[in-house]
Amino acid sequence: MSTSSEGELAQLFAALGDSGRLQLIKRLLAAGAVSATVLADGGAISRQAVVKQLQVLEAAGLVTHSRQGREVLYALDARRLQEARAYLDAVSAHWDASLERLRGLLES
């Protein structure tokens, strides 16, 4: 399993549990490093709301930011998504093993 604490994993999954933040992750995945202004363009929420959502994602380790001149660029850090996937794979493997043991008991 992962090396993150339960609290860090909870923060990660909480950040992923919002449809608006998932949309931002999707846009960052497609666009690479972009500003909050670019992320807000054409969307239903304001630039300020985008920044707040990006701060939640950054606190969970899903997004990083860097300055380029006067602009702040945000980028997806896919390592945390890989960590979430590894955790879910481990949980899934545990349940698969448990179901297999149950099946064995029922068949005997």
- Taking only the tens place, the pLDDT of each residue in 1-42 is 446 788 888 889 989 999 999 999 999 999 999 999 999 997
11 to 28, 46, 57, 77, 80: CA distances (angstroms): 20, 24, 9, 15, 11
Yes or no: say if 62 and 81 are a contact pair by the CB < 8 Å rule. yes
Question: In this predicted structure, what is the pLDDT of residue 2?
Answer: 45
What pLDDT does 34 receive? 95
DSSP 8-state class, residue 58: H
Dump pLDDT digits (tens) for 44-91: 889 999 999 999 999 999 999 999 999 999 999 989 888 888 888 888
